Amino acid sequence: MPHLLCLGFGFTARALTGALGPGWRVTGTTRHAAGLDAVRAAGAEPLLWPGEELTPALAQATHVLSSVPPRDAGDPAQALMAAHLGRMPRLEWLGLLSTTGVYGDHGGGWVDEDTPLVPATHRGGLRAAQNAAWMDLWRQHGLPVHIFRLAGIYGPGRSAFDKLRDGSARRIVKPGQVFSRIHVDDIVQVLRASFARPHPGRAYNVADDAPGPPQDVIEHAARLLGVPVPPDQPFDQAELTPMARSFYADNKRVRNDRIKNELEVRLKYPDYRAGLAAVLSAHG
C-alpha cells in the first residue's frame, strides 16, 4: 500500500486525503495535541511533529508532501528531509507546496516556470530560498523533488462566499492589478497526476486559465448569492494589514501550460466562475 506522509495538514492536504481513498495510507502531522483529532477526522493517521515518531513514518513513506512555510532560519521540513538522507528506503515522490509569489512583480505580465525568481516581498524571498533548498535535495542527493507553485487557493469553506457571509468581503481596487487563482480540487488533480508521472527536479505552476482583478471575484460571488455587492475601496485608501497589503506588491499572470502538457491535467474549474458555481452547488 502506498503511504503518503503530509508534513503539515492544511486545506490542500485534507482535500488530497479525501480524494485518495482506501488504497492509500495517509499520515498527517500537527504541531499541537489539540490538532490530532482534526487530522484523524479527515481520514489520516495523526502524528505530532516535532517528535521521535516521525522517523519511522519517514522510513515507511512512499510519498511525502510538505506545506510547511519557511522561516527566517530556514525550512524545518527541508532540514528534516536532509537529516534523514539514506533512511527513506521506500520514497518514490517528494513534493513541496510553494507559491507563485516567488516570481515577484511583473506589472501584470505573464510568468512561467522558467521565469527568474525575483520576489518583491520578504515572504516571497523566503519562499524563493526554500525552492532553491528543496531543489538542492534533488541536485545534490538525488531525492525525487517536485515543486508546486500555487496561485491563490479557494474551495469549499475558503472562498469569496465565506467572506461575504461573515461580512469581511471588500472590493479593493488597485488599477491594473490581477491575481491568478486555483480551486483546491484542481491542486489535488495536479498532485495525483504527478504521483502517476513523476519528474524529479521539476517545478509546476498550479493556476487556472483566467487571472483577473480580485474585485471581480467578490462581485461575481455576491451576485451568485443574491446579496449586495460591496462598494469599491481604492487600494491607497484601504485599511489593510501589512500582510494583506503585501499581496498587492505582486502583479502578474501565471501560465499553466506545463501541468497540461506534461501531466495531462484538464482543469475541472478553468476560471473562478466555474469554481465558485461548483462550490455554491455542492455546499450552498
Q: What is the pLDDT of residue 284?
A: 61
Q: Is residue 229 part of a domain?
A: no
Mean pLDDT of all residues in 166-177 = 95
Q: Is residue 164 part of a domain?
A: no
Q: What is the pLDDT of residues 224-236, one digit of tens each?
A: 999 999 999 999 9
The number of C-alpha atoms within 13 Å of 49 and in the hemisphere containing its C-beta is 23
Q: Is residue 226 part of a domain?
A: no
DSSP codes joined into one string, 100-152 = GGGG---TT-EE-TTS----SSHHHHHHHHHHHHHHHHHHHH---EEEEEE-E
Q: What is the pLDDT of residue 282?
A: 86
Q: Is residue 45 part of a domain?
A: yes
Q: Is residue 283 part of a domain?
A: no
Q: What is the pLDDT of residue 229?
A: 96
pLDDT surpasses 90 at 283: no
Mean pLDDT of all residues in 169-195 = 97
CB distance 111 to 254 below 8 Å: yes
Mean pLDDT of all residues in 140-165 = 97
CB distance 179 to 249 below 8 Å: no
Owning domain of residue 13: 3-154+182-208+252-268
Q: Is residue 35 part of a domain?
A: yes
Mean per-residue pLDDT over the chain, rounded: 96
pLDDT surpasses 90 at 193: yes
Q: Is residue 92 part of a domain?
A: yes
Q: What is the pLDDT of residues 199-243, one digit of tens each?
A: 999 999 999 999 999 999 999 999 999 999 999 999 999 998 988
Mean pLDDT of all residues in 146-157 = 97
pLDDT surpasses 90 at 189: yes
Percent of the chain with pLDDT over 90: 93
CATH code, domain carrying 259: 3.40.50.720
Percent of the chain with pLDDT over 70: 100
Q: Is residue 197 part of a domain?
A: yes
The total of other beta-carbon atoms located within 10 Å of residue 109's CB is 11
Q: How many domains does the chain have?
A: 1
Q: State how far Cα 174 lies from the chain centre.
A: 24
Q: What is the pLDDT of residues 61-91, one digit of tens each?
A: 999 999 999 999 999 999 999 999 999 999 9
